């Protein structure tokens, strides 16, 4: 299966970075092909971000599923989640996430998981 991973890249903590590395390694050991943004896309290729957005779009179009480690502070994750949602991709939340008491993309992810 081809899996596109949505996750923070720029302001990632060491702990989250380790969790993601382990998650990707586990998926790949099971034979999945994983698009891992920090590894598979040059993060400073054009100084704007357009090439990053295009690379993620191309990967997502070709993926069977989109897995998300949600970080509400990651602006790129908001953009990528919107693309995955618009394409109707199956989306899997890969970590526990608490519901907020207000409208949020995190709540949308939780609701998608319940369906």
- CATH number where 34 lies: 3.40.50.450
Q: What is the pTM of this model?
A: 0.90
* Residue 67 three-state SS: strand
* Domain that includes residue 9, residue range: 2-114
Number of domains composing the chain: 1
Q: Is the pLDDT of residue 94 over 70?
A: yes
Band (115; pLDDT cuts 50, 70, 90): low
Q: In what order do the strands lie in the sheet with 2-6?
A: 33-35, 2-6, 65-68, 91-93
Maximum alpha-carbon separation in the chain: 39
Residue environment code for 69-91, b if the CB has 16+ CB neighbours within 10 A, otherwise e: bbbeebebbeebbebbeeeebeb
- Judge whether 33 and 2 are in contact, CB under 8 Å: yes
Which pLDDT tens digit goes with each residue over 6-57?
Answer: 999 988 889 999 999 999 999 999 999 999 999 999 877 677 888 899 999 9
């Amino acid at each position: 299966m081809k899996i596109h991973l949505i996750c923070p890249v720029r302001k990632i903590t060491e702990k989250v970075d380790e969790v993601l590395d382990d998650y990707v390694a586990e998926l790949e050991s099971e034979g999945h092909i994983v698009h891992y943004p920090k590894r598979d896309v040059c993060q400073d290729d054009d100084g704007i971000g357009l090439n990053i957005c295009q690379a993620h779009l191309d990967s997502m179009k070709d993926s069977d599923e989109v897995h998300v480690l949600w970080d509400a502070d990651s602006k790129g994750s908001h953009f990528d989640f919107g693309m995955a949602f618009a394409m109707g991709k199956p989306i899997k939340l890969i970590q526990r996430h608490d519901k907020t008491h207000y409208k949020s993309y995190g709540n949308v992810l939780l609701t998608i998981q319940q369906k």
